[in-house]
Amino acid sequence: MFGLIFDSHPQLAIAHEAHFVAALAQNPNLIRAFDQALFLKALEANSNFRRLAIPRSDIEKQLQASEVTDYASGVRAVFEVYARLRGKTLYGDKTPGYVSHLGLLGRLFPEAKFVHIIRDGRDVTLSYLDRPEWGPRSVAEGAFYWKARVQRGRKEGALLGPNRYFEARYESLIEDPGRTVAAVCQFLGIEYVPEMLRYHERAVPVESLTRDPQAYQSSSAPLTVGLRNWRTQLSTADATLFDAIAGDLLNELGYTLSGQKTKAGTRVRAGIGLIRWQARRLASKFGK
């Protein structure tokens, strides 16, 4: 929803989960010495980039016109084309995975600003469990996953400083959308336009822009309270388990804990969850 809201700004084009910026930056051949042909080949091999439907010829023209000589400038050229095709002058990228790469992206793009959207981890975990084919498969795994990503994003964001890093709460967006969006606009240095909150009226729904349409069906609806509610949708045992794993971060962020005492069985479930989460991380890292 944040991505759709800001893509509805008259100046700003937000790519829906491009992913490729951090991914291709891991390729030393693109970082050490920029090669236009290699860059274009790497882009076209990336399925997330292909989903953006940016004509290769337009990118080639922009690369030549901008006299691109490094990876970061190449990426800027791609997004300049993306924005121009949509009649916009500014651009951004809504990709949750970038929360693990803020340091890298901050160094590559010193002009960039980062908005870290934080949501109660228990509601986030409920979302994960709805899509088990790609995310955590249990409350314990969801707690470890959420905690690790949020802590890493906050740590690297703090190093970027308040002029480049901003935290926004999902709950604040739902409760007071105008104030929350206006605060992010102020951080970004753009004018707040009330029409941004009518993002759901756009002609092209976000489902058509993603490889996983079912995961974004609610994004075409107006801002709605209560899409997820851990208080009614998590069992007492699961809420206590989440507290045992990530309660310290929930506390730090000002979220209310379940208030239940941790039992021996909860600690056992937490330990098993940690093992499974780490095993899945390793499997993902090595492509298995």
Ordered by start, the domain boundaries in the chain are 2-10+113-285, 18-94
In the 3-class helix/strand/coil scheme, how is the chain assigned residue by residue?
CHHHHHHCCCCEEEEECCCHHHHHCCCHHHHHCCCHHHHHHHHHCCHHHHHCCCCHHHHHHHHHHCCCCCHHHHHHHHHHHHHHHCCCCEEEEECHHHHHCHHHHHHHCCCCCEEEEECCHHHHHHHHHHCCCCCCCCHHHHHHHHHHHHHHHHHHHHHHCCCCEEEEEHHHHHHCHHHHHHHHHHHHCCCCCHHHHHHHHCCCCHHHHCCCHHHHHHHHCCCCCCCCCHHHHCCHHHHHHHHHHHHHHHHHHCCCCCCCCCCHHHHHHHHHHHHHHHHHHHHHHCCC
pLDDT: which is higher, 206 or 58: 58
Reference 165, options 105, 232, 241, 218; nearest CA is: 105
The answer, yes or no, to whether residue 85 has pLDDT greater than 80, is yes
The answer, yes or no, to whether residue 260 has pLDDT greater than 90, is no
Residue 215 pLDDT: 53
Q: Tell me the average pLDDT of the chain.
A: 88
> What percent of the chain has pLDDT above 70?
88
The answer, yes or no, to whether residue 229 has pLDDT greater than 70, is yes
Residue 137 pLDDT: 85
Which band of pLDDT confidence, cut at 50, 70 and 90, is reported for residue 288?
A: very low
Residue 266 pLDDT: 80
CA distance 81 to 189: 21
Q: Which CATH superfamily is domain 2-10+113-285 in?
A: P-loop containing nucleotide triphosphate hydrolases (3.40.50.300)
Query: pLDDT tens for residues 135-159?
Result: 788 899 999 999 999 999 999 999 9
Residue 245 pLDDT: 92
The answer, yes or no, to whether residue 33 has pLDDT greater than 90, is no
Q: Span 97-120, mean pLDDT?
A: 97
Query: pLDDT tens for residues 182-217?
Result: 999 999 999 999 999 998 887 555 555 555 555 555
Residue 234 pLDDT: 92
